[in-house]
Amino acid sequence: MKKIISIMAACALALSMSVTAFATEVKPDANGDPDPDSGNTAVSLNVDSGYIITIPETVELEEQSGAKTTYENDLTVSADAGVRINEGKSIVVSMASSSYDSGSFYMTAAGADQYKLAYEVTVDNSTIANNGTVATFVTSDAAQTSTLHFAADDPTYAGSYSDTVTFTIAVQ
């Protein structure tokens, strides 16, 4: 009877021993020691990029009186708070128009094929060329903006002038 109780006590003691769980299968060696006595577990996390870029659908140039009459207005391109992209990368917004010619953007009057009204786009007093960068945004918890200033001289002819610009967004 003492033998059975001793065996049961030894089994209970063996079962109550603390063994660290490993991703690797651990078995006892010939001496009863764990083999292997350590293991590795990979820890990982995958975080997707996230951002919202807002570009207004229209900008209406308004008459500005001064020494010379011009038509101007601002358009703000913005990135909402919480931009998250890969380290060392930035979101680059560029602008282009098929009407760009000889260093200027052009609007045409509705129904007019000949008369083109040149206009200029600047960001921080720098003139933007066709396919030029108008905004650069980086990972940030704060909202980010870039203000584009559109300006045209006083046109010779009356009419409703327009152009369409295309904004391209890329992570570079």
pLDDT at 8 > cutoff 70: no
* Residue 103 · residue 118 · CB < 8 Å: no
* Residue 130 · residue 91 · CB < 8 Å: no
Torsion of CA 19, 32, 14, 9, to 10 degrees: -170
User: What CA–CA distance (Å, rounded) separates 166 from 49?
Assistant: 23
Predicted structure pTM score? 0.77
User: What CA–CA distance (Å, rounded) separates 154 from 117?
Assistant: 9
Q: What is the pLDDT of residues 29-85, one digit of tens each?
A: 899 888 888 888 999 999 999 999 999 999 999 999 889 999 999 999 999 999 999
Q: What is the pLDDT of residues 12-44, one digit of tens each?
A: 555 555 555 546 788 888 998 888 888 889 999
Closest CA to 95 of 146, 169, 157, 38: 169
Q: What is the pLDDT of residues 158-167, one digit of tens each?
A: 999 999 999 9
Closest CA to 115 of 161, 62, 69: 161
Residue 112's pLDDT is: 66
pLDDT at 6 > cutoff 70: no
pLDDT above 70 as % of the chain: 85
Q: Which residues, 6+ apart, have CB-to-CB distance to 82 below 8 Å? A: 50, 51, 140, 141
* Residue 134 · residue 92 · CB < 8 Å: no
